[in-house]
Amino acid sequence: MAYMSKEHAKEIRNNLKKEFPNFKFSVRNKHYSSIRVSLLKSPLDFSIDLEKNKPYDYIQVNHYHLEWYSHSDVLKRIKDIINAKNYDNSEPQFDHFDVGYYVNMNIGDYEKPYEQIK
């Protein structure tokens, strides 16, 4: 059964701060079964919304396909820090899901848009 403790969420938050001192993250423990990590501020410029001709405010990141995003190397390092103590013994073809905890990654947050800092 998926489980995320407050202590583990705090450890992830501290590791992200240590690895990326110029970035601001929101790290939340959701229902003790998942971790939600949102990149709120950084010097990185993410993809442009072509319809509005401005940077995206909020992107839900598909952490299985980080190559879809600009700065995928940074997102991969963030994912590695989040999953340092996680496991995935799932067998989707048999409808069996067994993970240490679920991961949600975002650029920006629905409550607070992403901000590029200089």
Residue by residue, pLDDT tens for the chain (118 residues) are: 788 899 999 999 999 999 999 999 999 998 899 999 999 999 998 766 556 656 667 889 999 899 888 899 999 999 999 999 999 898 888 888 888 999 999 999 988 989 888 8
Within a domain: residue 1?
no
In a domain, 105, yes or no: yes
Domain that includes residue 49, residue range: 6-116
**86 in any annotated domain:** yes
Three-state secondary structure call for residue 92: helix
Helical pair 6-19 and 72-82, crossing angle rounded to 10 deg: 150
**Its pTM surpasses 0.75:** yes
Report how far residue 16's alpha carbon sits from residue 95's, in angstroms, rounded to the nearest whole number: 33
- Does some domain include residue 89? yes
Question: Is residue 21 a contact partner of residue 6, using CB atoms and an 8 Å limit?
Answer: no
Instruction: Answer whether residue 15 is part of any domain.
Output: yes
Strand 34-42, strand 48-49: pairing: unpaired
Number of domains in the chain: 1
- Nearest by Cα to 102 from 32, 12, 14: 32
The verdict on residue 109 lying in a domain is yes
